């Protein structure tokens, strides 16, 4: 299964230094951008992210980033796919 595009732009998400977050890689989670266990029906696993500072990060929403779990702008190349 290929990941589903959860949304066509990144999620601005406030993180806390040293806290770990499970980013949804499958696109099925109802708790985007975080994992809620929906991946169990797929072969896609969540990706763990450990915050290095108290800050806002941009988690990938299209699930296609080569810098997962963070956005790398790949969503800009997917315009035809998601419109």
Alpha-carbon distance of 11 to 59, in angstroms, equals 5
What is this structure's pTM?
A: 0.91
Q: Note down pLDDT in tens along the chain; length 83 residues.
A: 899 999 999 999 999 999 999 999 999 999 999 999 999 989 999 999 999 999 999 999 999 999 999 999 999 998 655 54
Helix (H) or strand (E) holding 15: strand 11-15
Q: What is the pLDDT of residue 1?
A: 85
| DSSP characters over 56-79 | EEEE-SSS--TTTTB--SGGGG-H
């Amino acid at each position: 299964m290929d990941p589903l595009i959860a949304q066509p732009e990144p999620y601005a998400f406030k993180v806390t230094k040293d806290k770990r977050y499970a980013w949804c890689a499958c696109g099925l989670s109802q708790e985007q951008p975080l994992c809620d266990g929906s991946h169990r029906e797929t072969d896609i696993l969540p990706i763990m992210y450990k915050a290095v500072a108290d800050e806002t990060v941009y988690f990938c929403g299209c699930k296609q980033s080569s810098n997962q779990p963070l956005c790398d702008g790949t969503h800009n190349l997917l315009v035809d796919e998601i419109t």
